[in-house]
Amino acid sequence: MASSKIFLIFFLAALIATPVVVAQLGGLLGGLLAPINVDGVLFCSINGKIDVLNGATTPIFPNASVQLRCGAGNVVSSTTTNGSGAFSLVLNPVQNILSSLLSNCNIVVTTPLSTCNASLPSAGVLQSPLQIVGRTAGGLVNLATGVFQLIPQLN
């Protein structure tokens, strides 16, 4: 506790003393505070991905409820796929630490697959972990889903 106070005092002193440090800190915080974006296109298949069956490509999955769930299944954010099967979630980097998003969170599709194709299961939810796909010049972190798996209904 005492050492962290001393550190803070030195830190503040350094801030006051050198504009260079202030600029560096601004850059660091800017990097840490850049929004995190999760984008994807959901397809109407058991792994949520595009597939080619008998020469026909998998249709997209529109109007599907997409949730970001973390830890024991807390819904952190949610959206719906649009008419092209696309979804996008913009996450607050203060509340959503990148490393825990990657290790502790999943994208879960709660609309049954049978909604988009009656031959597919009506039970269970599609679930995929997140993976990092890149960072834009502006510092925005882009995440995407991996391969979805059909798992038993949550909750």
Q: Give the binding site for ligand NAG (CB under 6 A).
A: 53, 58-59, 62-63, 82-84, 86, 88, 117, 119-120
Whose CB is nearest to ligand NAG?
83
C-beta closer to ligand NAG: residue 71 or 134 = 134
CB of 7 to ligand NAG, least distance (A): 44
C-beta closer to ligand NAG: residue 58 or 67 = 58
- Chain CA centroid to CA 123, Å: 24
Q: How far apart are the first and last CA of the chain?
A: 41
Helix and strand totals (H; E) in the chain: 3, 10
User: From CA 16, how far away is CA 123, in angstroms rounded?
Assistant: 60
User: Coil, helix or strand for 85?
Assistant: coil
C-beta closer to ligand NAG: residue 103 or 114 = 114
